[in-house]
A and B are shown apart, each in its own frame.
Chain A
Amino acid sequence: MEKLIEKYYRPRLPHIWCPGCGNGIVTSSIIKAIDKLGLDQDKTVIVSGIGCSSRASGYLNFDTVHSLHGRALPVATGIKLADPELNVIVITGDGDGTAIGGNHFIHTARRNINLTVILFNNNIYGMTGGQYSPLTPTDSKATTAPYGTLERAFDIAELAKAAGATYVARGTAFHANMLVDVIAKGISHDGFSLIEAVTQCPIYFGRQNKKGDASAMLKTQRDNAVTVEAAKKLSPEQLEGKFKIGVLHQSEAPEYTKQYQAIIDRAQKGAK
């Protein structure tokens, strides 16, 4: 790990994350996946939006963009399409990626452009102090839902799949090794990949909803997660209140930048 830190992290301590926050675990899973695949560090770009999770880009030693709230995907799309040689990895939060950035999310998935999106799902707006997000479970407390949230949460993995993502996976901060594995598979996949990383915000989601401290929240992740394989053997009743982890969906479809290259080849033939 020491070597990984030296190689992939910028010497920029202290970081802004609270003690017990899951963001550090998810970030190091991304790094381990990058290392496992041996990606060229000079040809790998990390783009994030705005939020606690999106601050990760600043700590990592690559070309990095800390963009605007909700807008990481358009920026990443521009980078990838302009230079398809680059590996482009997107870090986003549940609010960043599915509220303000929700429209970009479905359209980027639909295009099947080769980006790998790691969505840090802590079920809350951490950075702004605990307001509800589209991934906050119904009836949860948030500073903007003192009586409990009325809205139903997205299943972001299902949404990604329906929108056309060709790789969809879920992991948790607790199952960090598995998270490395599903992220690595997502990066290797030639198309739009979404990895939902379930993580804990003990400070704002945990406290308001009496979920205990970080270790209690990690245990909840352990207890509620069921691997895709194990889930196959369970009845819907047994799966009640649980969520699946692992590779949830993978399919083949033409990748956008490759399709665009074919257009260039055609246009240049036609022009000459």
Chain B
Amino acid sequence: MAKVLLLQGNQACAEGAIAAGVTFFAGYPITPSTEIAEIMAKRLPEVGGKFIQMEDEIAGIGAIVGASLTGKKVLTATSGPGFSLKQEFIGYATIAEVPIVIANVQRVGPSTGQPTAPAQGDMMQARWGTHGDHPVIALTPASVPECFTLTIKAYELSEKYRMPVLLMLDEIIGHMREKIEIPDYDTIEKPVRKGPRVGPSEFKAYEPDSDGVPPMADFGTGYRYHVTGLVHDETGFPNGSPAATEKLLKRLHEKVERDIDKITMYEEYKLDDAEIAIVTYGGTARSAYAAIDMAREEGIKVGMFRLISVWPFPEKEIAQLAQKVKVIVVPELNYGQMVGEVKKAVEGKVPVKPMSKYDSEPISPKELLEFVKNL
């Protein structure tokens, strides 16, 4: 039966994972993400799943990579310093095509920074944190209900494209409490992994279908295949030839690029007649709704384009937005990160104004309203 609860964003993320069919969590505690681990520690055994607190964040993500190979849906959760430690395995899961989900509840950095204060300073680390060329999928919830639904979505994408998906929360969203209607989990469609359609003798572990994604066999089911972080060919075995290298890297990118329209998610709020567009995401979007409502009362035509998927960046949509409005404002809790992407997409067609805040406080609706009025 569906029920209405008052939950934190972190709780909704954990419950979303359970609803999506997650049965394995490994991680290391870090504020402001710790609640996710704590909830999983309690909830997973109840549903027959496993939780393990590892010795560090590297081990946490390593363990979920291992568990995913056995066919389980898996989660780890962390924040800034821990997110840095996870980067090498994010690259591994990308090249070895192991579906995993990582929640990063952002706090002020660099380094230990301000552990309990919100920030959105890891947006570029999400994009480029691991070394080498690689595609990335990252989602940013802006409410407690969206923590739940986007977590489920993260599994859909991660299983479909066989790659890591990043859930980029921030401290505002992770710790905020809101009413949320939770459906009966049995009614939720569980994302499924595409399995092999041929027997072990014909199976080539990394031979893609036409969607660019190879079917994935669970360990222990007789397919006996090799998983490596080395460049490999369709057999899964190392092949360092220029042709194999280019082919693999291209495929990894293209499986995402090809589906960018399906992956891209955004919300338009009062944009229809807007002359000013606020492009933002996550916790900062909360203030934008309020600021827009106040501005509208004063007759200012402003609306919001809220990024829900941030990576891959919705360049096409932002370019279209630039055709419709006179100016774009990008408020974010960092020194200016996604604003650069917006500028790139806008190509100078309209002014793009960063509104960066990095003093550990959220941007208030009033501040944003003032900013818009002073444009």
Contact = CB atoms under 8 A, between A and B. Distances in A.
Tell whether A pairs with B.
yes
Interface of A: 10, 12, 41-43, 45, 47, 57-58, 61-68, 71, 73-83, 85-86, 103-104, 107, 260, 263-264, 266-268, 270-271
A78 B63 contact: yes
Interface of B: 23-24, 26, 42, 45-46, 48-50, 52, 54-56, 58-70, 72, 74, 88-89, 92, 219-230, 237-238
Given A63-B69, A264-B48, 7 more contacts: A12-B237, A61-B224, A64-B225, A67-B62, A67-B92, A81-B50, A266-B45
B50 A41 contact: no
Contacts of B49: 264
A114 to B, nearest CB: 14
A74 B59 contact: yes
For the complex of A and B, the 10 pairs showing the least CB-CB separation, nearest first, are A78-B66, A74-B62, A78-B63, A267-B45, A82-B67, A74-B59, A75-B66, A66-B228, A79-B66, A78-B67
B64 A78 contact: yes
B88 A83 contact: no
Q: Is the interface of B mostly helix, strand, loop or mixed?
A: mixed
A260 B63 CA distance: 15
Contacts of B89: 68, 71
Contacts of A58: 226, 228, 237-238
Contacts of A86: 70, 219-220
A75 B62 contact: yes
Contacts, number: 139
Contacts of A10: 226, 237
B272 to A, nearest CB: 48
B45 A263 contact: yes
B227 A66 contact: yes
20 contacts: A41-B224, A45-B219, A47-B66, A58-B228, A61-B224, A65-B69, A71-B89, A74-B66, A75-B63, A77-B66, A79-B70, A81-B24, A82-B66, A82-B72, A86-B70, A103-B56, A104-B55, A260-B50, A268-B45, A270-B46
Contact of A68 (B68, B92, B237, B238): B92
Contacts of B60: 74
Contacts of B55: 103-104, 107
Given A68-B62, A82-B24, A42 B226 contact: no
A113 B178 CA distance: 40
Contacts of A270: 46
Contacts of A78: 24, 26, 62-69, 74
- Residue of A66, A67, A78, A83 contacting most chain B CB atoms (<10 Å): A78
- Residue of B58, B89, B92, B230 contacting most chain A CB atoms (<10 Å): B58
Contacts of B223: 63
Contacts of B67: 78-79, 81-82
Given A79-B70, A81-B63, A71 B227 contact: no
Contacts of B65: 67, 75, 78
A64 B227 contact: yes
A218 to B, nearest CB: 29
